[in-house]
Structure 1
Amino acid sequence: MTSTSPSPSAPANRGVAFQDALQVAAEIAARSPSSHNCQPWGVGWTIGAGARRTATALLAETAERAGCGPAAQDEFEYLVLALDRARRLTALPAHGVEMLVSCGAYAEILLRALAAQGWRADGVRFVDPAGPVHGLRDADPDRIFGGRWPRAWVPLCVVRLAHAHTPGNELAELGDTVRARHTNRGPYRPDRIDPAALAGLSTAGSGLSLVRAAAGHDAEVTVRHMTDGAERAAVADLVRRHGGRDFSHRAAWRETHSFIRRDEADAETSGDGFTLGQLFGPMAPPRRLGMRIALAPATMRVLRHVGYHRLLARQLAAVVRCSPAAVALGFDDEAPGVESVVRGGAVLADYWLGATRAGLVLHPVSVILQHDDARAELEGLLGLPGRAFFVSRLGRAATQFPPSRRLAASRALRLV
């Protein structure tokens, strides 16, 4: 984040304190989950007079309900969560939901890290990126926060924060949990997961910072665990029949392949994506070279004619079948709006952090959600009331997988 003076309407020491807290929170939130590790989020801190006026106007109705007058508004800081179009996935229509879910997960972890430092979110106003912003004369939502707002960013919501209390010791625990959380695609131990642990995870979202700040709104997400062998086998069969579609879909696989990094040095330089080791586990150099050749889009176009994509799907289905549990998260609404999808991402962050604290790991199986027919089949199989947006293996790791690299935390922050 570019160094600058704190908000002109705030006492200098308070603005500096918030800037320091925001940088610490962003370092933690940078490890949030995202599809392909693409990290499609951005956050603007409103320090300019015009941007603060816009943020205040958007949250004026909420402020009035809370009994806050103009003087009290000067005591707030405002953040604007955004989708970075330069970093989003676009090959499949379903990626639109995945990108918003990723942004919601990032926002939840960022707000928790700020709350642990004494900055509590007490108001949220979502912005419809598809149309004009109600109550503001500027009808272009990309530009309502002034000339310093990045052209590639689509604003999703404005969050108002107040300095609420003296920080406690929650920040260290949160940081440790977030660093420990990452996708593990290896084999899981066959041990049965404690039903009490699953029951606790089923309440994910009940204490969300992002949801709690949006007064009167619930998370509207159903958490569904699959521990019965027959049910897991049915999900595995779905993966077997549909799991090769990402490999055989030219645009989707070309996009996916663009996030596969050559080695750890390449991943470190890129700061995103994943290595073959993070996809398939440790492998000898000859096998790594063979996989690089086999997974190249040009090779895959040939190999799909001999059923290589179906072989990969069967391998994925086998690990799903052998896992002790699986989990699906679904919106209660069949056609959720932007607000519901972003808040669903917050629920996912809450669930994954809870699973990590319980010693559990996850391996998302997103391919069966990325095509409408496969997703509808899963929803019917599990009896979900609306649209499924996350499905994953769940268990205790038998082997350790390395975490993926991340972009610098400052990349996602802008002063507006």
Structure 2
Amino acid sequence: MTSSPASTPRPPSADRRASFEHALREAAGIAALSPSSHNCQPWGVAWPTGRDARRAVERLVDEAPADGPEAPTGIFVGSGTGGGATDEYVILALDRERELTSLPAHAVEMLVSCGAYLQVLLRSLTLQGWSTDRIHFVEPLTGGRAGRAEGRTGVADARAGGGYDAGRPLGDTWPVSWSPLCAVRLRRTGEADGGLAELRRTALARRTNRAPYRPDAVEPAVLDGLSAPSAGVAKGADVTVRHLVADSDRAAFAGLVARHGGRDFSHRQAWRETYSFVRRDEAEAHALGDGFPLSQLFGPLSTPRRHALRLALAPTTMRALRHAGYHRVLARQLARVVGPSPVVVAMGLTDASPGVEATVRGGARLAEYWLRATEAGLALHPVSVVLQHDDVRKELQDQLGLPGRTFFVSRLGHPLTDFPRSPRRIGARAVRTI
């Protein structure tokens, strides 16, 4: 429906606005613990509080056509009724200053990371009595069906300059480095139900664990529970989940890692970008709030070994050592860690050329899976290198019969030792008022 000027709702009261601000900051603090590639945390959340910004978001939401196969691209899409004085809005954005750009596949990884963040953010708000009424996704103006028909994706088109022009109506206070991905309307439905502390504990316990895993199998019932349908942004996500438990499948995957697991080390731009996220030590990592110290990759290290590894992995050193096949040594080392893992999980989007909505929802599904795995005492160790180069990803999918677009592959099991948690920015730093 289209809201006329006469029916434009008044802004929420000051008391309600203060209540939502508290809830949003609490939710952002938990969502900041979400996984992201290289721990780059490429997300941002805009909260429209100014009259003009709020009206702009309301118009975009209320005038949007119903979601469906014929909905045009380049605008917010969804269904529902107009907003009111009891509603609040948030806009999920991709922060271009924090995204990875060295490989085309990073465009998908960034949206997956943002989707994981959004899932945890909205779940945290729900537990505080703010339910999601509508989600309206922004597709690039040159993406969508037209882009896919020509063999491109909406995600790739946006990076190539298709643009997220829907940010323009949001006003001059919209951060220039942010690209809006979706707008969410929230409605106050009640009081907190007490589950927020539990979600925070699970999010704090969730981490990438690169240690060896116990060889014993994960119960099929547990794997089924991880794959069960999800709520929130992940609801209805077009995602397939495949658990590789057969010896032949896991051996095939380990062989692929042994052949190609050194690709990033030998790729000059990709490794330079990766190394830029390696911090000198835990103190620097926590001061910056992103990236990872070497202990996150190798476990506890003595000071001499940490300095030696940092020197060995430096881009200038790697550029020289690749001629001696050092990247192949590193690939075989990774394969030896992957091989004994009891389960390899692969998640894929059913559309081989996914747009923004499908990819963000896929990230939300990943967040829900990872939280469930954490609750079950399981750990994950993503092996992203086999997805970041299209030829390797296609070989993986062909070899293991994975349909669509595989966007996540990881070891899964019970870890033998704990691993440190990656540092995070303060959650409120990702929130801007407009």
The alignment's TM-score, normalised by the length of structure 1, stands at: 0.92
Shift of 1:228: 1.1
Task: Please give the secondary structure, in 2, of the residue aligned with 1:240.
Answer: helix
The one of 391, 399, 409 aligned to 1:381: 399
**1:230 offset after TM fit, Å?**
1.3
2:168 match: secondary structure: coil
Q: Name which of 232, 245, 258 aligns with 1:209.
A: 232
TM-superposed deviation, 1:30: 0.6
- Give 1:130 shift: 4.3
- Superposed, which structure 2 residues align to 1:162-311 within 5 Å? 162-203=187-228, 206-212=229-235, 218-311=236-329
Residue 289 of structure 1: how far off its partner (Å): 1.6
Query: 2:65 and 2:196 mapped to 1: Cα distance?
Result: 28
Closer, same or farther: CA 62–154 of 1 in aligned 2, 3 Å: closer
Do the aligned residues in 2 keep the contact of 1:129 with 1:155 (CA within 8 Å)?
Answer: no
> Which residue type is aligned with residue 403 of structure 1?
R
Q: In the alignment, which residue of structure 2 is the partner of 1:345?
A: 363
Structure 2 unmatched ranges of 5 or more = 1-8, 67-77, 145-163
Q: What's the Cα RMSD here?
A: 2.0
> Which stretch shows the higher mean deviation, 309-318 or 379-388?
379-388
Flag the 1:164–1:318 CA change in 2: closer, same or farther, 3 A: same
Alignment partner for residue 370 of structure 1, among 388, 395, 399?
388
Aligned-partner residue type, residue 59 of structure 1: V
Tell me, in whole angstroms, the C-alpha distance in 2 between the residues paired with 1:230 and 1:67: 49
* Structure 1 residue identity aligned to 2:230: G
Figure out how many residues of one structure are paired with residues of the other and give that number.
397
User: Following the alignment from structure 1 to structure 2, what is the Cα–Cα distance between the partners of residues 299 and 316?
Assistant: 20
Structure 1 alignment gaps of length 5 or more: 1-6, 134-138, 213-217
Whole-angstrom CA distance in 2 between matches of 1:270 and 1:256: 16
Letter in 1 for 2:51: A
Aligned to 1:4: none
**Deviations, residues 230-283 of structure 1 (Å, cap 9, x unaligned):** 110100111111110000000000000000000011101111001111101112
Q: CA deviation at 1:362?
A: 0.3
Give the TM-score of the pair, scaled to structure 2.
0.88
Instruction: Write the deviation string for residues 5-48 of structure 1: whole angstroms up to 9, x where unpaired.
Output: xx971011111100000000001001110000000000000111
Deviation at 1:63, TM superposition (A): 9.9
Secondary structure of 1:247's counterpart equals helix
Question: How far apart, in 2, do the equivalents of 1:382 and 1:60 lie?
Answer: 44
Q: What is the CA–CA distance in structure 2 between the aligned matches of 1:322 and 1:58, rounded to whole Å?
A: 51
C-alpha contact 2:234 2:362 (8 A) present in aligned 1? no
Alignment partner, residue 47 of structure 2: 45
Secondary structure, in 3 states, of the residue corresponding to 1:151? coil
| Contact 1:8/1:49 (8 A) holds in 2 | no
Name the structure 2 match of 1:391: 409
Moved more, 100-109 or 52-61: 52-61
Whether 1:122 aligns to 2:133 is: yes
Taking the aligned partners of 1:131 and 1:170, their CA distance within structure 2 comes to 42
Q: Structure 1, residues 318-367: CA drift from partner, whole Å, max 9, x if none?
A: 11101111100000011000110011000000000010001000000000
Q: Which residue in the other structure is 1:34 paired with? A: 36
| Distance in 2 of aligned mates of 1:301 and 1:68 | 58
Q: Are 2:178 and 1:153 equivalent residues in the alignment?
A: yes
